[in-house]
Structure 1
């Protein structure tokens, strides 16, 4: 199964289903099943961001040391990848515009201008800088137990056992 390694706490936010857009500096043509791997690194400063801390605490995670690392922790379906642009170089989060937003996503979220209103938490959970990409992760299922695995750069193949 194709797999992407994400550093913590972002990985857990995906596994919990509160982060549905994984932002990357690169796009992929892959669509379909995608395993979510927690890398060895934990961004401890990100764990202190109030919105992230609030979500983790709500799910019983009160310290960064409780986050799983070096393991596949969820499975998802990568349904689309959007390029990110900021019209007129606005810096406000509500000005984020996903330039290749398709009709299905518009039906779910509304117009690009409404995304910032309807999904405000997403903007605390990613880097929406101009020129980056947002990967739409759907049907996320958190594994009952993390499966130890060594991560890799880019997309990589994970051989699921059991």
Structure 2
């Protein structure tokens, strides 16, 4: 991909997500990511953090969704677009079976899994990836257009 095709400036962030939640997002089934604070919309690198949420592996919704998937950790595993960030009104039904009450819900779309995970360190909250990391990711997604 030519650098000239990329938007100017600060167009992408990283989001670190524990497994098995990252794997559930990559299946396309989990389109909501829960966060304690609101996030801006836009493109994010999906980073599988070093930690695995072991109790989540026993949840039926998770187990059905990630069946037979490898739980890669410590790497960028995909890319997605945050299209909205909201909280469900108190007392109303949750917007998704993946949503947690009182959390901010990041609505994810255009999820693309990388053929090969790219080892990387993430951070809490939105983080700015290096140009080299973005280049490594985009080399695997030749048809990607932000």
Counterpart of 2:101 in structure 1 is: 129
- Structure 2 residue aligned with 1:3, among 11, 14, 17? 14
- Structure 2 residue aligned with 1:69, among 68, 73, 90? 73
CA RMSD in angstroms comes to: 1.5
- Relative to the length of structure 1, the TM-score reads 0.70
Q: Deviations over 1:57-86 (max 9, x none)?
A: 1xx23xxxx300001111011111011233
- Structure 2 residue aligned with 1:46, among 56, 69, 72? 56
User: 1:55 and 1:14 mapped to 2: Cα distance?
Assistant: 9
Q: Unaligned regions of 5+ residues in structure 1, if any?
A: 88-94, 98-114, 116-121
Q: Deviations over 1:35-94 (max 9, x none)?
A: 11100110111111122111211xx23xxxx3000011110111110112332xxxxxxx
**Is 1:96 the counterpart of 2:109 in the alignment?**
no
Q: Unaligned regions of 5+ residues in structure 2, if any?
A: 1-11, 137-146
**Shift >4 Å, 4+ stretches:** none
Greater per-residue helix proportion: 1
Deviation at 1:141?
A: 0.4
- Relative to the length of structure 2, the TM-score reads 0.77
- Conserved? CA contact 1:85–1:129, under 8 Å: no
Q: How many residues align?
A: 122
Deviation at 1:32?
A: 1.3
Q: Deviations over 1:3-38 (max 9, x none)?
A: 11011110111111111010111102x221111110
